[in-house]
């Protein structure tokens, strides 16, 4: 498990920092994201503790990221060795967890002649970025969007047609966003669908159900202790849900969890949840731990070979996550045809024993707050909105190691 506090940013941003003498401009997270997406050179000074920085930070091909913890700037006389780490020939954006420490640090640097600004709300603001990108290769009925949360790599899907819509793997933090998007598109949000009991983020299915949307959870996941199953529609293998003329077919795909379920959207894209990603496959240990990981890995192998790779090569795969190792398609979505994944991902062409040995050999740390998140998603624990947001900050770590799974 990666080492970080349960709640990001408590240490630095609950402190009372003096107001800097210099006026410091702020940068909106969306503005910073647009600059990075455009390939602009960006220099970031991350003032969080080194352990937090190592586990979760803003990166990109055009991003230079420097970590100097905020406490190095608390003394009136800042050490020259510290200042030497910070470029003085370009603009530097300072960031922290919530925005308080970064404004102070930026002010201290501006007083010394540096060209600096700071990121509004810090990494918490970065975690509120949520973008919708159209899946252009989708040729089914209606339109398919992929929701992307760059801070954690979470992905979701919105398909809409003829006045109706369904969202797959919604996040609780963005409940209002789905409703607003549906209203703007002039459609009724008919279904909110989960692929499984998530371990890295709080599901938005129950909150959307409270707003009148029909909640759908896999019937196969109920045995894990879902407390609200009688309030939901239970999706069994082969069930179909219609959104206008688009058909969403339920495909049982266990392995990552015993209840893991994918949804084939109008025969064009398989929303695989955490079963298969464009750069990796699922990790098998989050439900039954290390003791049950081998059996789950063998189940995952069977699922991939018989239920996923048996689909036509042109069928798109869209997971519930992407990592830094993932390459977006030309349309900007993290989707790829099955045939392409089979060619580039060595794990998909191995025999069963090789596959199991590989994914068990180098699994990353488990999501830091996965036990609390799972309990919340099962309905066994009440978590308010603020705590829910804090619990899911950071990387998702729901995939097996990316380094060992790709082909040459």
In angstroms, the CA 127 to CA 393 distance is: 7
With vertex at residue 172, the alpha carbon angle to CA 166 and CA 177, rounded to the nearest 5 degrees, is: 60
Where along the chain do its domains lie? Answer: 10-126, 131-391
- Homologous superfamily (CATH) of 131-391 is Ribonuclease Z/Hydroxyacylglutathione hydrolase-like (3.60.15.10)
DSSP state of 236: -
Rounded to an integer, the average pLDDT of 333-360 is 95
Q: What share of the chain is helix, strand, coil (3-state, %, to 5)?
A: 30, 25, 45
The contacts of residue 163 (CB under 8 Å, 6+ apart) are 186, 187, 188, 244
CB atoms within 10 A of CB 214: 16
Q: CB burial class (10 A; 0-12, 13-18, 19+) of residue 71?
A: middle
pLDDT digits (tens, 9 = 90+) for 67-96: 999 999 988 899 999 999 999 999 999 999
pLDDT score recorded for residue 395: 73
The pLDDT-based confidence of 399 (bands split at 50, 70, 90) is confident
pLDDT score for 394: 78
Residue 19 reports pLDDT greater than 70 = no
| Chain segment 321-345, per-residue pLDDT in tens | 998 889 999 999 999 999 999 999 9
Please say whether the dihedral angle defined by the alpha carbons of residues 304, 393, 327 and 133, taken in this order, is positive or negative. positive
Residue 139 φ/ψ, nearest 5 degrees? -120, 20
For residues 232 and 230, give the distance between their C-alpha atoms in angstroms, rounded to a whole number: 6
Mean pLDDT of the chain: 91
Better-predicted residue by pLDDT, 9 or 198? 198
Which among 27, 96, 135, 154 is annotated as catalytic?
96
**pLDDT at res. 286:** 83
Q: Which of 150-164, 340-354, 393-407 has the lowest mean pLDDT?
A: 393-407
pLDDT reading at 142 higher than 70:
yes
Q: Which two tokens stand for residue 160?
A: 């809409």
Does the pLDDT at position 8 exceed 60? no
Planar angle of CA 219, 220, 221, nearest 5 degrees: 90
CATH superfamily, domain 10-126, is Rhodanese-like domain (3.40.250.10)
Q: Which residue has the tokens 């702020």?
A: 26
What's the rounded Cα separation, in Å, for the pair 143 and 377?
Answer: 29
Pairing of strands 26-27, 233-235: unpaired
Q: How many CA atoms lie within 13 A of 337 on its CB side?
A: 12
Give Cα 273 distance to the centre of its chain: 11
On whether the CB atoms of residues 199 and 374 are closer than 8 A, the answer is yes
Q: What is the Cα Rg of the chain in Å?
A: 22
The yes-or-no answer on residue 96 being catalytic is: yes
pLDDT given at position 23: 87
State mean pLDDT over 257-271.
97
171 DSSP assignment: B
Measure the CA–CA gap between 107 and 104, rounded to whole angstroms: 5
Q: How far is CA 249 from CA 207, 243, 268, in A?
A: 23, 11, 11
pLDDT at 60 over 80: yes
| pLDDT at site 11 | 44
Collapsing DSSP to helix, strand or coil, 69 comes out as: coil
What torsion, rounded to 10 degrees, do the Cα atoms 209, 210, 211, 213 define?
20
> Stretch 270-290: mean pLDDT, rounded?
91
pLDDT of residue 408: 39
Judge whether residue 184 has pLDDT over 90.
Answer: yes
Q: In which element (H, E) is residue 288 found?
A: none
């Amino acid at each position: 498990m990666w080492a970080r506090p349960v709640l990001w940013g408590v240490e630095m941003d609950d402190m009372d920092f003096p107001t800097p003498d210099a006026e410091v401009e702020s940068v909106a997270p969306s503005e910073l994201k647009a600059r990075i997406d455009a390939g602009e050179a960006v220099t970031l000074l991350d003032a969080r503790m080194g352990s937090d920085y190592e586990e979760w930070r803003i990166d990109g091909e055009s991003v230079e990221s420097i970590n100097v913890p905020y406490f190095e700037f608390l003394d009136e006389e800042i050490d020259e060795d510290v200042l030497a780490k910070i470029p003085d020939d370009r603009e530097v954006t300072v960031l922290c967890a919530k925005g308080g420490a970064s404004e102070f640090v930026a002010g201290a640097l501006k007083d010394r002649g540096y060209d600096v600004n700071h990121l509004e709300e810090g990494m918490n603001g970065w975690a509120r970025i949520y973008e919708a990108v159209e899946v252009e290769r989708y040729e089914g009925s209606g339109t398919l969007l992929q929701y992307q949360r760059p801070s954690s790599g979470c992905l979701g899907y919105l398909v809409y047609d003829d006045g109706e819509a369904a969202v797959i793997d919604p996040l609780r933090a963005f409940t209002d966003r789905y409703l607003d998007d549906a209203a703007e598109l002039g459609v009724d949000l008919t279904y909110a669908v989960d692929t499984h009991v998530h371990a890295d983020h709080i599901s938005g299915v129950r909150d959307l159900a409270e707003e009148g949307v029909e909640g759908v959870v896999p019937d196969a996941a109920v045995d894990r202790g879902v407390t609200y199953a009688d309030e939901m529609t239970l999706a069994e293998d082969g069930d179909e849900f219609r959104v206008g003329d688009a058909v969403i077919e339920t495909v049982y795909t266990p392995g990552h969890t015993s209840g893991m379920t994918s949804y084939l959207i109008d025969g064009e894209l398989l929303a695989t949840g955490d079963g298969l990603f464009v750069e990796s496959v699922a990790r098998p240990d989050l439900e039954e731990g290390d003791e049950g990981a081998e059996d789950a890995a063998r189940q995952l192998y069977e699922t991939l070979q018989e239920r996923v790779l048996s689909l036509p090569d042109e069928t798109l795969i869209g997971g519930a996550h992407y990592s830094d190792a993932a390459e977006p398609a030309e349309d900007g979505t993290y989707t790829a045809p099955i045939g392409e994944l089979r060619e580039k991902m060595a794990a998909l062409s191995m025999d069963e024993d090789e596959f199991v040995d590989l994914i068990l050999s180098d699994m990353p740390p488990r999501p830091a707050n996965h036990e609390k998140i799972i309990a919340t998603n099962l309905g066994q624990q009440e978590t308010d909105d603020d705590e829910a947001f804090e619990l899911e900050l950071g990387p998702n770590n729901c995939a097996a190691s990316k380094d060992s799974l790709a082909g040459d």
